[in-house]
Amino acid sequence: MLQAYGNGELFGEAFGDGPVQVLWLHGWDRRGSDFARPAAILADAGVASVALDMPGFGASPPPHEVGGARRYAELLLPVIRDLSPEPLFIVGHSFGGRVAVSLAAAHPEVVGSLVLTGVPLLRQDGTRQPVPAYRLIRWLHRRGLIGERRMEQARQKYGSPDYRNARGAMRDVLVICVNESYEEELQRITCPVVLLWGEGDGEAPVQIARRARELLKGPSSLRVLSGVGHLVPTIAPEELAKTVLQSMTR
């Protein structure tokens, strides 16, 4: 059952009894329910956790102020402090991992350990550029030479599925996020980090995890799941739960 957090600004689901030890942060255009199975496994092991719908996803309204993962980290900070006086184990998938890394770098006192999966932490070499026709349309739109209707038609034709599906402020949030890279944050993180990656992840290839690990100063490990793609929380929930439990006993 969903509960309100952060003065009713965020919604999420609590799993298990006792003090909250784990926070689950979902990917873009997903919701906290992606973690229902691994969270239930942790609850059976006596570990309480909360899976949030982050601002603009699931039951939670969009943020009042547009920003990227770093802004989301600040939005979640009061909720995290309310959840537990102790540092939390934070599990971040994809966009949620961007936020988790931003939290750990800016507010290390609230993060005890990170488990990251399928997170686009660094820009990929050879990232595909917009086709020339789309660049031209955007250039004309910026100069007022074509209207918003024509521009939206171009967005629907040339934009990524995430961009096409995003609306209003969330489209601006997405644009900011996909242009962020987290080299500085990775180098500032001091807590233990576990990278759990799907071998077939096409959204955030394993090479990103390997490059990210080279930047980490503290304890880290990388585990690659054979036959698994980007959606580790729903495709391999048992492996995710096992990884979290193992990281909690180190």
Answer yes or no: do 112 and 218 share one domain: yes
22 found inside a domain:
yes
Q: What is the mean pLDDT of the chain?
A: 91
Of residues 124 and 177, more confidence is placed in 177
112 found inside a domain:
yes
Answer yes or no: do 116 and 162 share one domain: no
* Cα torsion through 225, 226, 230, 236, rounded to 10: -60
Backbone angles phi, psi at 164, to 5 degrees: -65, -35
Q: How many Cα atoms are found within 13 Å in the side-chain-facing hemisphere of 65?
A: 8
Answer yes or no: do 165 and 236 share one domain: no
> Using 50, 70 and 90 to split pLDDT, how confident is the model at 138?
low
Q: How confident is the model over 180-199, as pLDDT tens digits?
A: 999 999 999 999 999 999 99
Answer yes or no: do 160 and 186 share one domain: no
CA 140 to chain centre: 33
- What pLDDT sits at residue 171? 86
Structural domains in the chain (count) = 2
Query: Can you state the percent helix, strand and coil of the chain, rounding each to 5?
Result: 45, 20, 35
Answer yes or no: do 104 and 78 share one domain: yes
Q: How confident is the model over 61-106, as pLDDT tens digits?
A: 999 999 999 999 999 999 999 999 999 999 999 999 999 999 999 9
> Using 50, 70 and 90 to split pLDDT, how confident is the model at 109?
very high
What SS3 class is residue 196?
strand
pLDDT at 129 > cutoff 60: no
- What pLDDT sits at residue 137? 72
Of 243, 222, 248, 213, whose CA–CA distance to 112 is shortest?
248
Structural domain of 162: 132-171
101 and 182 Cβ atoms separated by less than 8 Å: yes
- What pLDDT sits at residue 178? 87
Give mean pLDDT, residues 107-124.
96
36 found inside a domain:
yes
pLDDT at 155 > cutoff 70: no
Answer yes or no: do 54 and 110 share one domain: yes
